[in-house]
Amino acid sequence: MTVELKSDGTALSGTTNPGPNAVPLQKATFDRKTATVHFEAQAKGRRGQELHYKVDGKLDKNAVSGAWNHETRNGDFKITRK
């Protein structure tokens, strides 16, 4: 999975899987004081159902790691910078 995150210094935005199947991030925030990231996204599941993802993580050097969840599943993640 590819995640593009963009910050203008105050607002955070981005997409997952940029291209024809891109999913825009919603409610994306970055707190500089705590180095925490939060974003949400609406995406279609494998069976065509709408899923609402919530992602919370912490920035440490060139990586963000944390936890994600949607209606029926959850897990951990780590995003590293290319």
Give the CA radius of gyration of the chain: 13
Spatial distance between the Cα atoms of 42 and 3, rounded to a whole number of angstroms: 14
pTM listed for this prediction:
0.86
pLDDT digit string (tens) for 23-44?
999 999 999 899 999 999 999 8
Per DSSP, the residues of 24-74 read E-EEEEEETTTTEEEEEEEEE-TTS-EEEEEEEEEEETTEEEEEEE-SS-E
pLDDT at 45: 82
Buried b (16+ CB within 10 A) or exposed e, 5-22: beeeeeebebbbeeeeee
Residue 20: pLDDT band with limits 50, 70, 90: confident
pLDDT at 46: 83
